[in-house]
């Protein structure tokens, strides 16, 4: 059996969907599995996602604020990647009235994890890096899955993460 594990970077849409479809008070065993992945360091998100959650959902916000080491700060490398992404895909940056702007940061976090060098050694146990989002690839619509094609990053939804992890409830 391999020591490698999939590594997930989760978007706001999947966390909100998780909370709506599987509320923590009704599905505590599912949320424990999610927290286990977080605690093992295989499920992360970006601070920009936390900002979006804090603007939308009180129950999810309460849970999210308790998750230490889950929401990652922006690095200089990520800032550079976000700039590249937005130069190529300016419509990925949503105007303030359309909600947050976490999408390019989620992608940049996944890109940074996959790059070679010292960072790669830290993540040598990664089998595959995946972005977990409820967004779907729809033609040339600039959403996370469309941009991820350029960076050779697969996108899955939250239920597909459960399947990959072999979770049964």
pLDDT for 147: 93
Number of independent structural domains in the chain: 1
| Phi, psi (deg, nearest 5) at residue 56 | -125, -35
pLDDT for 97: 46
CATH at 133: 3.40.50.1010
SS3 content of the chain, % helix, strand, coil (to 5): 55, 15, 35
pLDDT for 117: 44
Domain that holds residue 9: 5-165
pLDDT for 1: 41
The answer to whether the CB of 148 falls within 8 A of the CB of 15 is no
| Per-10-residue mean pLDDT, the chain, length 169 | 77 94 93 96 95 85 93 95 95 65 94 66 66 88 90 94 92
């Amino acid at each position: 059996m391999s020591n490698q594990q999939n590594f997930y970077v989760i978007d706001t849409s999947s966390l909100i969907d998780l909370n709506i479809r599987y509320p923590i008070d009704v599905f505590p065993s599912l949320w424990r599995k999610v927290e286990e992945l977080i605690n093992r360091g295989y499920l992360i998100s970006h601070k920009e996602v936390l900002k979006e959650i804090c603007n939308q959902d009180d129950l999810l916000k309460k849970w999210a604020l308790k998750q230490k080491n889950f929401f990652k700060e922006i690095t200089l490398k990520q800032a550079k990647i976000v700039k590249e992404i937005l130069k190529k895909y300016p419509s990925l940056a949503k105007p303030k009235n359309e909600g947050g702007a976490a999408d390019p940061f989620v992608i940049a976090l996944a890109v940074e994890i996959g790059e070679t060098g010292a960072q790669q050694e830290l993540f040598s146990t990664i089998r595959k890096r995946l972005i977990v989002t409820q967004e779907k690839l729809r033609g040339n619509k600039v959403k996370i899955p469309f941009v991820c094609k350029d960076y050779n990053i697969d996108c899955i939804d939250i239920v597909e993460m459960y399947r990959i992890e072999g979770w049964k409830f």
